Amino acid sequence: MKNKAITIKDVAKLSGVSISTVSQILNGRGDKFSPTTVAKVQTAKADLHYEPDYFARRMIMKTSKTIGVLVPDITNPFFGELIRGIEQVLYQANFITMLCNADLDAAKETGYLTELSHRGVDGFIIASSAVSNQAINEVLRANQRPFIVLDQKKAEGISDAVLTDDFEGGRLAAMHLKQLGHQHVAILMPDQAASNIQQRLAGFRTVYASSQFTLITTPLSKVGGRQAVPALLKTTATGVFAVNDEIAFGLYLGLAEAGKRVPQDYSVIGYDNVEMCEYVTPQLTTIAQPIFELGQVTAKILLSRIQTPDQPWDERRLPVKLIERNSTAHLN
């Protein structure tokens, strides 16, 4: 015969307080009661081995304590570090992170948005440009679901947002190569790039005129960097700006296979400053984004939005900086 499930009523009876009191204490509002009352409830919970029914709790409290996070490519270490920052803040607030990796598939990302909404997550962190504003309006805003966009996605006045200064990052990359004497350079970036990548290009253009650089389109991946080498070898470029570190890592391999050296033949600068930058040879010069902090700030703003849905939109822009290592050198 199946044992009877322990309920919140049993905890209330054993501790000698009301069901409402037990509910509030077990849901983090124990500061409203005396230490003696809180201790009674916690002791009764432990003695009875009571575990809350989260489905019932969601029905009563109208919350799942779950946040959906959409990223385009979990294999990119940038997103791993970003999620680590997000998860740290959410865990401290007793929220669970539900990760959806869309593999750069726009249809998959929109599908995830719908499915997470059906599952009643409390909020959404959207770190991909592929989720359209139309999908956001139809799935999230129409159902009053709290959300925040970051990194690749423009807020466009419809949500909270956390960004980094991509324009300044592109400018810093260009200034570095220019100061090293590189007169003609190449930029490696995807076709129809997201707005943050376009901002890096715009910043770069403030230093190098269009006649001074060659734009080589390639995916935001190590494979993309490796594939770009034949096109690079046909140019007169001596310096290369890879718009993320993943492209730069792939470029290293492609150049080595072509018998070229970094930085003797090509100075290479990346973007993001993922951990691997210090472990490749030569160590990669890059534009550092505060990735972990980006995740932390994003999670904090979303939690604030959940608590206060009607507050004004909050948009933060975090600074970037040049990290000079050994993959760039003065042109001989």
**Protein fold of 66-163+291-318:** Rossmann fold (3.40.50)
The tokens of 271 are what? Answer: 């973007």
What pLDDT does 271 receive?
98
Strand partners of residue 185 = 213, 239
Helix (H, G, I), strand (E, B) or coil at 310: coil
How far apart CA 285 and CA 175 sit, in angstroms, is 13
| The domain made up of 8-61 is a member of CATH 2.120.10 | no
Domain ranges of the chain: 8-61, 66-163+291-318, 166-289
What pLDDT does 1 receive?
38
pLDDT 10s per residue in the chain (332 long)?
A: 345 778 888 889 999 999 889 888 887 778 889 989 999 999 988 888 887 665 555 545 556 789 999 888 888 999 999 999 999 999 999 899 999 887 766 677 778 888 888 778 899 998 877 666 677 777 777 677 888 988 655 556 678 889 999 999 999 999 999 999 999 999 999 998 888 999 999 999 999 999 999 999 999 999 999 999 999 999 999 999 999 999 999 999 999 999 999 999 999 999 999 999 999 999 999 999 999 999 999 999 999 999 998 888 888 999 999 999 999 999 97
Question: Looking at the domain covering 166-289, what would its CATH class be?
Answer: alpha beta
What pLDDT does 155 receive?
55
Domains 8-61 and 66-163+291-318 share a fold: no
pTM of the model: 0.80
Q: What are phi and psi for residue 315, nearest 5 degrees?
A: -125, 120
How far apart CA 114 and CA 111 sit, in angstroms, is 5
Q: How many residues does the structure list for the chain?
A: 332
Bridge pairing between strands 285-288 and 321-323: antiparallel
Residue 252 exposed, middle or buried by CB count within 10 Å (0-12, 13-18, 19+):
buried
